[in-house]
Structure 1
């Protein structure tokens, strides 16, 4: 399967490698930016602001899907927007080089990071139907899994390397911004070199599936109609939204808990976060790379419940046994469950949804999945800043238990419907 996707399918390989360089560069800078915020006055608030603001684009997935559905020249669009991202990180480097550390440069840089996230989200949706066109149905789950494994491996390495390099260059954030731009440049160069075959495929695909020219409301209605046809998809979407709300809020709280508890630090704040996230990354890579055996047969609803249970266990560990090694193990198991869940979900959506609706429906699903993320972060990080991080963690714990019960009921209802 690996040979069929990467060694023989040159176009899929080009897309996967280009996306991987992008993920690596973004991760490299994101950890540096968290370290930057942790060194500011009112560091707890600064880290919270970054978490909330960077979660805002996730609410606009349907709009991104509508935009992606109107893109006619997909590869050319990716190449152009990648150059815009490179220019954005050059501007960020200039801001770091010409200002003293403080809230003003942080607030100037945040919009550029949001823009980069928006472009990245739209780019993923632009490429999704093209990937479906390039990969046969029986390889779709593997294709999603391998891309996730590659991106998470490089993102994981990027976090660890990033905080190490940050120490070596004595916290020179200008260099980090330029490094990030450099990896986006590598992403662009890789896609540019392999563009000829991709442009031919893109033209052939465009002849089969014309870009959407309908009104946004009509596209939303069409997307809803496709989604409602499958009870399993309705269940997974509702649970994905709630799981993402819980998971992203917990991730933000973990950043605050590590910031406040230096006994958990291993080599500094940024290094500790990178290593904990590496635990998740290794788990995701392991889960998304293993396609045989008993674990591959686990159904989607069971995987959702496994993810929720690991989130509850993670909250218990932070509250009652905040040990670095234990959190690494728990986050590895959480990542493993996520690594099994996400490719199955992606393959389900790609198989069920017709190509002409894929970008629109994918954006619609993304909106439902992520719309609660900013709300969850505002609520739980707000509680942490106004009251205490401990109270916020108890809220996470209670919500996790409620969601497990809700998931079991929804799973039973879905089984009855099917």
Structure 2
């Protein structure tokens, strides 16, 4: 915590990130609640969930564009102002009579806001190692991540409480105002960022998209040719996709079966998000040491078993068992993530690390939106029970693959 209290510029950087995180988390609960109240709640929840997952697919493009950008501080201020404007418009739209058409337009605006937010974050990411001394950088990154997780949990519960008091319109405008506050923080950092950019960051805005796509193609081909890496990456891409698909399916269950709700819809959804976050934090901090002798392939069967159990409890509509299983699932994923990063560094030749990392991100981030689209379609075409059974079969298939590979050394 010393790095936070003694470094005022780092404090501002963290506060700027946290205000943005709080706004995003708070309004996610609001949008899901709004969607759950529509006559076609399942379709509405699918639209919101897809719009929330889709921005991750553009991470590579956004990061490359941000890396080539000049006048970073000015663009960070401009993008944040644009996000504030988008949520002001959301506030106007959400005040009209609720409909799928209104929700679709709002979801598109929310998607644009998330993409712009990712761009702003990518613009600001090089400043952290320039503001924080090298010997304190690891502490600063860990602290920033822990605070962000805590704020995300708090924002979810705050959102669930405010929904019962304030209108969806007012919540959108509060979110808009939060982005305006971050602009004040960025203005106070503008001169510092300009100075650091002049001294340390390359100044260019020439972006060759053809070169970019060739690099991604090369990266993906290198991953496919590296069989151990490709197998490991595909397993975790599927695990990530299953994990992210369960939340919208759970939301659909809550909308369809009110008896499953604890207190109210937004509180139950916030409770689910909180369980996942707490499990992940405990897994990353404590579980990594407790399970340090377990390889990824030894952990994966347990993750798959918990996923099957979770989907079974969802089928049986047992809310408390769902939440408890989610806690343990979050714990194991919190343990697995650092092991995955370490395994990747072991498998990939160092001279190919930068190129292959781009292809890995593309694979990992492409599956969740695809899974959400497919299984939401199954819910719409058939039933939520059918979707749960199908996702359970995918989890069982993953269990078979990981069990067969349990003696692998990473």
Tell me the TM-score range normalised by the shorter chain: 0.7 to 0.9
Q: Please report how far the alpha carbon of residue 227 of structure 1 lies from its aligned counterpart in structure 2 after TM superposition.
A: 6.2
Helix, strand or coil at the partner of 1:168: coil
In structure 1, list runs of 5 or more residues that go unmatched: none
Alignment map for 1:288-307 (pairs within 5 Å): 288-290=284-286, 293-295=289-291, 299-302=295-298, 304-307=300-303
TM-score by length of 1: 0.83
Alignment map for 1:228-239 (pairs within 5 Å): 234-239=230-235
User: Which stretch shifts more, 149-158 or 346-355?
Assistant: 346-355
Conservation of the 8 A alpha-carbon contact between 2:84 and 2:180: yes
Q: Please report how far the alpha carbon of residue 391 of structure 1 lies from its aligned counterpart in structure 2 after TM superposition.
A: 1.7
Give the one of 313, 336, 356 matched to 1:317: 313
CA distance in 2, matches of 1:326, 1:363: 38
Aligned to 1:201: 196
CA distance in 2, matches of 1:10, 1:224: 41
Q: Confirm or deny that 1:182 pairs with 2:180.
A: no
Conservation of the 8 A alpha-carbon contact between 2:18 and 2:151: yes
Q: Please report how far the alpha carbon of residue 355 of structure 1 lies from its aligned counterpart in structure 2 after TM superposition.
A: 12
CA distance in 1, matches of 2:351, 2:140: 17
Give the one of 330, 334, 359 matched to 2:329: 334
Q: Confirm or deny that 1:393 pairs with 2:388.
A: yes
Per chain length, whose mean CA-contact separation is higher, i.e. which structure has more relative contact order (CA < 8 Å, sep 6+)? 1
Give the one of 152, 159, 163 matched to 1:162: 159
CA distance in 1, matches of 2:142, 2:226: 23
Aligned to 2:239: 243
Q: Confirm or deny that 1:252 pairs with 2:252.
A: no
TM-score by length of 2: 0.84
Q: Report how many aligned residue pairs link the two structures.
A: 407
CA distance in 1, matches of 2:225, 2:120: 27
In structure 2, list runs of 5 or more residues that go unmatched: none
Conservation of the 8 A alpha-carbon contact between 1:226 and 1:353: no
Q: Please report how far the alpha carbon of residue 65 of structure 1 lies from its aligned counterpart in structure 2 after TM superposition.
A: 2.9
Q: Confirm or deny that 1:283 pairs with 2:279.
A: yes
Helix, strand or coil at the partner of 1:72: coil
Aligned to 2:76: 78
CA distance in 2, matches of 1:250, 1:185: 34
Deviations 1:36-62 (A, max 9, x none): 111222122211222223333333333
Give the one of 52, 55, 58 matched to 1:57: 55
CA distance in 2, matches of 1:133, 1:224: 32
Q: Please report how far the alpha carbon of residue 88 of structure 1 lies from its aligned counterpart in structure 2 after TM superposition.
A: 0.6
Q: Over the residues paired in the alignment, what is the CA RMSD in angstroms?
A: 3.5
Deviations 1:88-143 (A, max 9, x none): 1011112223x222223212212110101112233344444544566678877655
Q: Confirm or deny that 1:26 pairs with 2:21.
A: no
Alignment map for 1:112-123 (pairs within 5 Å): 112-123=109-120
Going from structure 1 to structure 2, the CA distance change for 1:132 and 1:331 (only over 3 Å counts) comes to: farther
User: Which stretch shifts more, 360-369 or 15-24?
Assistant: 360-369
Conservation of the 8 A alpha-carbon contact between 2:47 and 2:107: no
Alignment map for 1:364-375 (pairs within 5 Å): 364-375=359-370
CA distance in 2, matches of 1:67, 1:356: 21
CA distance in 1, matches of 2:175, 2:352: 34
